[in-house]
Amino acid sequence: MSPSRPLIALAIALLPIAHASARTVYRCIRDGTVSLATAPEPGSQCFAKELDDDAAALPNLWGQMGVFHGTLYQREQDGRTVYSTRNLPGSTPVLAFTVATPAGSPAHAGLGEVGAPRMDAFPREFRSAAKKTGVEEAWLRAIAHAESYYDPQAVSDKGARGVMQLMPDVIGDYGVKDPLSASESILAGARHLRALQNRYEGDLTLVAAAYNAGIGAVTQYAGVPPYVETREYVAKVQALYARYRKAMGLKPRPAQLQPAQ
């Protein structure tokens, strides 16, 4: 089945709620994966989205994921029936689906040039974000350097904003209130990198590619997309990561960010 609207239309159709013109749906994030649910999922970070049932078109709640297949599940939670696209304990499958969402496009080649490491920029914020998320500070700084050269007011022509150049869907997923706040941007960027590292099992090549071009594009091409911007970005981050590790007194790591062919 290939619905023309996002899958949440199917969940809405299954819900036995009379006289409802609007309802709340939850976009839930766990380990770099997105699900939609009619109640917050245990173990996921969920954000409420208000939908108008009478709207001519439902919004895309998935983000830029490309074409993917999944299942809508039903389970009992807190004494009521809920629906989710994640298979949680106690779930039973209700409906298989295929959803076509934007595959994504290169965010931009990055606003920062390869150059000397800058350890003076927001030291407390980077240390804190690295500690909270487990993302290596040298890696986090390499991304920030490549993205914005630490400019909290940076805005790209693709709509990426702040130190970590967060795209609108990332801003929404991590509850960022002010994307131009250095502390909020750095923490959300670190959390997003952590989720990507979990998704790609620590493969920093794919993490860098997905950060730049989106998960959908990486899925579509089964690796680093053939975008010039993305391949240049991966190479830039590779060089910066090595320089930041050296600046922090860390041993070089084996080359692991070469774009996949």
Inter-residue contact 25 to 8 (CB < 8 Å): yes
Structure tokens at 195: 């989720």
Which of 137, 147, 201, 232 is labelled catalytic? 147
DSSP state of 251: P
Helix axes 182-199, 137-148, angle to 10 degrees: 120
Measure the CA–CA gap between 131 and 122, rounded to whole angstroms.
Answer: 14
The Cα diameter of the chain in Å comes to 64
Residue 147 designated active-site: yes
145, two tokens = 């350097």
The rounded distance, in Å, linking the Cα atoms of 38 and 1 is 21
Q: Which residues are catalytic?
A: 147
